[in-house]
Amino acid sequence: MLKQRENWASKLGFILAAAGSAVGLGNIWRFPYVVGTNGGAVFVLIYLVVVFLIGYPMMVTESAIGKHTRSNPVGAFRALAPNSPWWLAGALGVFTGFVILSYYSVVAGWSLSYIFKTLFGTVGPGVDTADAFVGHITSVWPPIIWHAVFMLLTVGIIAAGIVKGIQRWVQILWPVMAVLIVLLIIRAVTLPGAGAGIAFFLAPDFSQVTGVTFLNAVSQAFFTLSLGMGVFITYGSYLKEDDNISGSAGSVVGMDTLIALLAGFVVFPAVFAMGLDPSAGAGLTFITLPAVFAEMPAGVLFGTLFFILLAVAALTSAISLLEVVAAWLIDEKGWTRGKAAAVLGVVIFVVGIPSSLGFSVWSGFSMPGVGTDLLDTYDWFANSIFLPLGGLLTAVFAGYVWGAKKVQDEANFGSGNLKVGNWLAVMIRIVIPVAILVVMIWGIVETFAG
Ligand code: PHE
């Protein structure tokens, strides 16, 4: 009864799809605003340490589990530890993907609407970009309609399957994004007063560090690298026998980190040059960038193009979120790909609606410490609890149940430019579980005490 499982069409297929999953709103929307609300450069520093100490080894581990079992997250844990409750770790991942996509699609919808707002000058020269942003998110229908449009696009691609759907899309617009960001950096850093922004982004102020800073750095690392919920188990499951993991994961981590840092070099110089508030929160990118475009020659063109690319980057991340959940229904429940994509699309759309209405009719709901609105609250549970917990369980499972040596062998198989050494065992057995546990407890206690 073995079904033929789809494979990536080329060696680059996995890297591009994985980088497509990793690079998204996490880099361009979430990274700058979390840096801004966590004291700037010192957060960047902690985040980079977390990316290299936890992010890379976790990406290798998840991919190895996927490649070895050729299965979705639930099936993967079950295959390696039959008749045990470990499959629940996979189920947590599927659930988390579901939650993240519900509000991710709302923010991606903002990007879609900004394509047209920029093109038609609703945001642009002479417009207060902060007012424009608040005006958009506090309206009831437009953000929900854009959220629906974005879910529809995501469902369409997933229904088409991994090679035709995912791979084709990811390959197209990648380099264009990088070039555009570099142009934006040039504009931003040459604005008068930009220096203060560069200092904020690069000169750490250690008095700003708390337990919450560490928890937010871990959350951001998991989120931006798409870790802790089975994306890399699922994408790894489409790897061919002789594909190499250690090198591919290195490329993905490198690209993701680069794009986030570049986004910071656009946003912070501009924030300070324009007298905006770096700790403005979720609107930071949407308020700052249109103000930069307004200062650029051909700003409408660059601005429109930028938001198209942002929406595409979000789409290649969203399809990975949906793919995890869909792969589970397809593998475990025998659903067809089309049915899984369509049913999930509707349900996730509905679950996401409150996070949009949290800025308008449901703006009264908030959890002290956790968030100021419902979208924040979804985001906090997903990224500060579920992803790190998923990562912790995966590391412990791979380190002790499946075996660190097996992870290492699987990761180094094939010809890669980077090999993982015996240190991997130390990381996944001890350093990562302990670090996540300490940071979670410390950060959560502080969140609710403060
Ligand atoms: N990494 C994606 C981004 O940065 C978001 C994501 C998180 C995707 C978790 C998949 C899984 O936008």
Residue range 113-122: mean pLDDT, rounded: 97
Compute, in angstroms, the gap from residue 199 CA to the centroid of ligand 1: 28
Query: What pLDDT score was predicted for residue 11?
Result: 73
What values do phi and psi take at 275, rounded to 5?
65, 25
Nearest ligand 1 atom, CA 223: 7
pLDDT tens-place string over residues 186-236: 999 999 999 999 999 999 999 989 999 999 999 999 999 999 999 999 999
Which residues have any ligand 1 atom within 6 Å of their CB?
A: 21-22, 24-27, 100, 223-224, 226, 229, 231, 317, 320-321
pLDDT tens-place string over residues 8-32: 777 777 888 899 899 999 999 999 9
pLDDT tens-place string over residues 328-375: 999 889 999 999 999 999 999 999 999 999 999 999 888 887 888 999
N-to-C CA span, the chain? 55
Half-sphere exposure of 356 (CA within 13 A, CB side): 27
CA-only gyration radius of the chain, Å: 21
Pocket test for ligand 1, best of 27, 177, 226, 315 (most atoms within 8 A of CB): 226
Query: What pLDDT score was predicted for residue 397?
Result: 98
Return the residue whose CA atom lies nearest to atom 10 of ligand 1: 226
Compute, in angstroms, the gap from residue 155 CA to the centroid of ligand 1: 17
pLDDT tens-place string over residues 242-300: 889 999 999 999 999 999 999 999 999 999 999 999 999 999 999 999 999 998 889 99
Pocket test for ligand 1, best of 309, 317, 319 (most atoms within 8 A of CB): 317
Query: What pLDDT score was predicted for residue 1?
Result: 37
- In contact, 316 and 169? CB cutoff 8 Å: yes
Return the residue whose CA atom lies nearest to atom 6 of ligand 1: 226
> What's the pLDDT band for 162 if we cut at 50, 70, 90?
low
Query: What pLDDT score was predicted for residue 330?
Result: 92
- Look at residues 90, 413, 327 and name the one whose alpha carbon lies nearest to residue 81: 90
- Residue 97's contacts (CB-CB under 8 Å, 6 or more residues apart) are 229, 230, 231, 321, 322, 324, 325
In the predicted model, is pLDDT for residue 2 greater than 60?
Answer: no
Nearest ligand 1 atom, CA 387: 9
Structure tokens at 338: 């089309």
